[in-house]
Amino acid sequence: MANPASLQSPVVIWTKHFTISFGLVALVSGAGAALIHHFGDPDAGQPLLVTPIFAPAPDVVTLNNEPRLDLVDGALALGGSEESAVEDGAGAEAATSLSAAAPTEAALARAPIAGFSIAGPFGPLPAVARDGQTPSQAYRRPTAGIGAGPKIAMVIGGLGLNALNTKTAIEELPSAVTLAFAPYTNDLQNWINLARADGHEVLIETPMEPFDYPNNDPGPHTLLTSATKAENRKRLDWVLSRAQGYYGVINYEGAKFVTASEPLTAVMEAVTGMGLDVVYDGSAARSNVAQAAQATSARYAIADRLVDSTPNAQAIDEELLRLEALSLERGASMGVGFAYPVTIEQIRQWVDGLALKGFAIVPASAIGRQSDASKSG
């Protein structure tokens, strides 16, 4: 489904998509059975949503209507404070701490955190630290204190391309909602740090080949089934060098790419080697993501529902109810949406009532499936 022509830009078409009491327990269980009966098979096929690119974000942004200092410069030592990056005599970047405390429950540490990147051909790339800790472990949101009840994760993508929608998502959505940013975003590092300052863990969107490519072109540096392993690695390196502070990657488009075993496995091997998670939006039912994850020992997650394939309030609310039903059935579920104003508003209202129903909203990193070889990660 295409957006109105008034929203289109001549740059590229950026296509998204991509999942209390004791007395309440009985109520929630009964509600789950009714939801599943009413909505039928929750894994039914879903249409792919097509949306155009929006105007770039401005160079100066604010959070909660207050101006922010530049959050880009400097590498933060894990558990450190507000710090600055300096170069030592050999020209290597070193992090210095100004006695800052570890992140609060809401805020996450500013990126980049020292020790989790190496020099790449287009800029810094994620890397496993010398002590074996991964960028995923360093940048994902902590989950201590999450109860044993049904859990739901939500990822909102397409962020960074429209300043107003991006600010609204960061400010209005609960910190447990995971935010995914387009690599073509102006001032991407600043946007990521604004999101992290509000407690959101972050993914970076990786453009992948759809079936109707090049008529439907996700943009420059798209990963292609026809490209060599070296060429796709070059494109991946460009995407991942745009900023730091994300715990993993999520596909942007890619219905064809995720069905091609060899190129997909090569990309997931590279991503896993950098210490990142992989999230797939679930838009292609016959993807090879799970198989490639097993082959590469990846930490990964596959979303259950695209919540705004039909971007209106009633349809979104129905998809959110389906996520609740799945969570009751399986213990956890994941939804993916785009940064439409209606999506942001419906999710905000929905999350406000989840606790009373016995559900917990959790970051996407908390419920990802793990390959057998990565369960200790």
pLDDT of the residue at 97: 28
Q: Which residue has the tokens 């997650």?
A: 301
In one-letter notation, the amino acid at residue 64 is: N
Burial class (CB in 10 A: 0-12, 13-18, 19+), 102: exposed
Q: Helix, strand, or coil here: 252? A: strand
Report the alpha-carbon distance of residue 113 to residue 243 in Å, rounded: 12
Q: Are 18 and 251 in contact (CB under 8 A)?
A: yes
pLDDT of the residue at 9: 36
List the structure tokens of 318.
């129905």
Q: Which residue has the tokens 């089934």?
A: 225
Residue 85 lies in a domain: no
Domains identified in the chain, total number: 1
Instruction: Please list the residues that pair with 356 across neighbouring strands.
Output: none
Report the alpha-carbon distance of residue 318 to residue 335 in Å, rounded: 12
Residue 231 lies in a domain: yes
Residue 55 lies in a domain: yes
Q: What is the DSSP string of 64-82?
A: TTEE----SSS-BPTT--S
Residue 79 lies in a domain: no
Residue 93 lies in a domain: no
pLDDT of the residue at 125: 99
Report the alpha-carbon distance of residue 320 to residue 326 in Å, rounded: 10
pLDDT of the residue at 138: 98
Report the alpha-carbon distance of residue 121 to residue 333 in Å, rounded: 38
Q: What is the CATH number of the domain that holds 170?
A: 3.20.20.370
Give me the helices (H) in 163-285, please. Answer: 163-172, 188-197, 229-240, 261-273
The CA-atom distances, in angstroms, between 175 and each of 42, 121, 155, 179, 295 are: 27, 33, 11, 9, 33
In one-letter notation, the amino acid at residue 118 is: I
Low-confidence ranges of the chain (pLDDT < 50): 1-29, 31-74, 76, 78-104, 371-377
pLDDT of the residue at 285: 80
Residue 344 lies in a domain: yes
Q: Are 335 and 305 in contact (CB under 8 A)?
A: yes
Residue 365 lies in a domain: yes
Residue 198 lies in a domain: yes
- Write out pLDDT tens, residues 76-132: 454 443 333 333 333 333 332 222 233 345 899 999 999 999 999 999 999 999 999
pLDDT of the residue at 150: 96
Domain encompassing residue 328: 5-61+140-374
pLDDT of the residue at 18: 39
